[in-house]
Amino acid sequence: MKLHCPHCGPRSVEEFRHGEIPRVPDHLTDPAQRDLDRVWNRTNPQGPTTEAWFHEQGCHRWFHHERDTS
């Protein structure tokens, strides 16, 4: 599978690291609980989602990419 890096052009998806952009619920006010939620809990939504991708074996830059998980 190819992914289009905005800086390097089309590259193999194996060159990248990615993850969901976490959104911590507003009802969590304890800083430790917010950090725990941000690091470990993922919503894993079905449908369009925006993720942060890092071009690890290329330009070493982050960019946002939307993909459909369904």
Residue (of 20, 1, 19, 3) closest to 11 by Cα position: 3
Residues 6 or more apart whose CB falls under 8 angstroms from that of 21 comprise 50, 51, 52, 64
Residues 6+ apart with CB under 8 A from 33: none
d(CA 38, CA 29): 13
Domain map (residue ranges) of the chain: 2-42+49-68
Question: Pseudo-torsion of CA 47, 8, 53, 12, nearest 10°?
Answer: 70
Domain 2-42+49-68, CATH class in plain words: alpha beta
The pLDDT score that the predictor gives to residue 38 is 64
Taking the whole predicted model, whether its pTM rises above 0.75 is answered as no
Mean pLDDT (10-residue bins), the chain, 70 residues: 92 86 69 71 76 91 86
